[in-house]
């Protein structure tokens, strides 16, 4: 049986983009065998079937090594050897490579199998936050070296799409935004406000996703800790700043933390809040051009969004009359929170679902399936 291989850098279970894309592909091509090759994490099986997707989580012996450049290279070569050995003799038709790091592996497998290759850039891969010096040069060199072998590029925002078109004018580039599948949402929202015991005069803001530098986490913490701010914020995510968020939550009753939930539960949980937060900092080109999952997750949950004044996300909020756009500076956030009237904010929710009704995963899936139909023709 012909096979489609997706290569990812995680345990798959919480990767909403990979799950949505592979679900759409299986719906259109049910006769294909779809395999996802990911990394093993504690608590997950090494092999698992997720809705007809065969998931293999590779347990790398070198993974406990530190994250310096030399150790990372050792991990990569083990990963490359094991993936190539496992799939080099399989009847691959399409290799769908997620992010930049596995691209050399995907190119090697393409050469050995003759498969078509999709490069799915979840971010502006060579311009990510914190990428500098030798790491940045290696990222740029890797992408330029292997891009000639790519048959189609897919990415997540209009600005990133346009960047790739300018950078590689001979490569077809498609936009598949990371809009959630709204059919997963329950009609009965989770009672977040009641669970957190929030007074009616206060609003509950919701931060979803990675707790990392550059995403406004520290500015949000400082803003909600301000004594003149009556509103609450709930963080649902994980990352390097998790312990900092927990520390703030222990000393400020208006700051809350919960562990992340599976993608299928996000919309149901989010409906119980009042306003979504998308306070990305303008620290790099990738952040400036981003169109993050949480923006769409909040909007499709019926929440207006407080977003940073960055081009793509600001345009979504303004075009759909779906919230507020402010400077990502911490002082601006605090000023906004102090002056925000709860009644005005709640009125913005009326009719919001209708205003964002064009934001549907089905529309994005059509673009993805069009790419596959072209490559498999």
Q: What digits encode the pLDDT tens for the residues 236-293?
A: 999 999 999 999 999 999 999 999 988 888 999 999 999 999 999 999 999 999 999 9
Given this model, what pLDDT does residue 359 score? 96
- pLDDT < 70: residue spans in the chain: 1, 183-187
Given this model, what pLDDT does residue 186 score? 58
Given this model, what pLDDT does residue 136 score? 87
Given this model, what pLDDT does residue 65 score? 92
Cα–Cα distance for residue pair 75/108, rounded to 1 Å: 17
> Which pair of structure tokens corresponds to residue 256?
């809350």
Given this model, what pLDDT does residue 292 score? 92
Given this model, what pLDDT does residue 43 score? 87
Given this model, what pLDDT does residue 1 score? 61
Cα–Cα distance for residue pair 151/242, rounded to 1 Å: 39
Mean pLDDT (the chain) is 93
∠ CA 249-128-171, nearest 5°, is 140
CATH numbers and ranges of domains, the chain: 3-179+361-376 (3.40.50.2000), 182-355 (3.40.50.2000)
Q: Which residues pair with 173 in a beta bridge?
A: 153
Count of residues making up the chain: 377
DSSP 42: T
What are the start-end ranges of the H helices in 226-325?
Answer: 242-251, 263-270, 285-288, 293-300, 311-319
∠ CA 179-367-124, nearest 5°, is 60
pTM of whole model > 0.85? yes
Given this model, what pLDDT does residue 347 score? 93
């Amino acid at each position: 049986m012909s096979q489609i291989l997706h290569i990812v850098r995680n345990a798959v279970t919480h990767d909403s983009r990979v799950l949505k894309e592979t679900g759409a592909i299986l719906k259109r091509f049910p006769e294909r065998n779809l395999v996802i090759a990911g990394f093993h994490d504690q608590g997950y099986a090494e092999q698992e079937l997720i809705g007809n997707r065969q998931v293999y989580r590779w347990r790398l012996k070198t993974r406990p090594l530190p994250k310096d450049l030399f150790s990372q290279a050792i991990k990569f070569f083990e990963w490359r050897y094991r993936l190539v050995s496992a799939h080099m003799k399989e009847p691959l038709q399409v290799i769908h490579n997620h992010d930049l790091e596995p691209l050399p592996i995907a190119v090697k497998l393409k050469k050995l199998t003759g498969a078509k290759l999709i490069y799915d850039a979840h971010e502006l891969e060579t311009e990510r936050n914190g990428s500098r010096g030798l790491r940045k040069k290696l990222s740029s060199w890797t992408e330029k070296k292997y891009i000639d072998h790519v048959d189609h590029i897919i990415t997540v925002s209009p600005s990133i799409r346009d960047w790739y078109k300018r950078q590689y004018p001979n490569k077809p580039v498609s936009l598949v935004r990371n809009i959630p599948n709204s059919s997963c949402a329950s009609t009965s929202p989770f009672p977040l406000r009641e669970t957190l015991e929030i007074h009616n005069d206060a609003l509950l803001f919701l931060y979803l996703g990675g707790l990392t530098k550059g995403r406004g986490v520290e500015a949000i913490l400082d803003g909600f800790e301000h004594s003149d701010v009556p509103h609450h914020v709930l963080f649902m995510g994980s990352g390097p700043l998790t312990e900092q968020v927990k520390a703030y939550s222990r000393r400020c009753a208006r700051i809350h933390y919960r562990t992340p939930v599976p993608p299928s539960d996000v919309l149901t949980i989010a409906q119980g809040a009042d306003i979504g937060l998308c306070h990305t900092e303008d620290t790099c080109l990738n952040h400036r051009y981003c169109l993050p999952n949480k923006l769409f997750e909040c909007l499709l949950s019926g929440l207006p969004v407080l977003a940073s004044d960055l081009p793509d996300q600001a345009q979504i909020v303004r075009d759909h009359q779906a919230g507020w756009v402010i400077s990502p500076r911490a002082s601006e956030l605090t000023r906004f929170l102090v002056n925000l009237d709860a009644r005005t904010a709640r009125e913005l929710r009326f009719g919001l679902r209708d205003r964002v009704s064009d934001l549907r995963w089905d529309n994005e899936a059509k673009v993805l399936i069009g790419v596959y139909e072209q490559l498999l023709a």
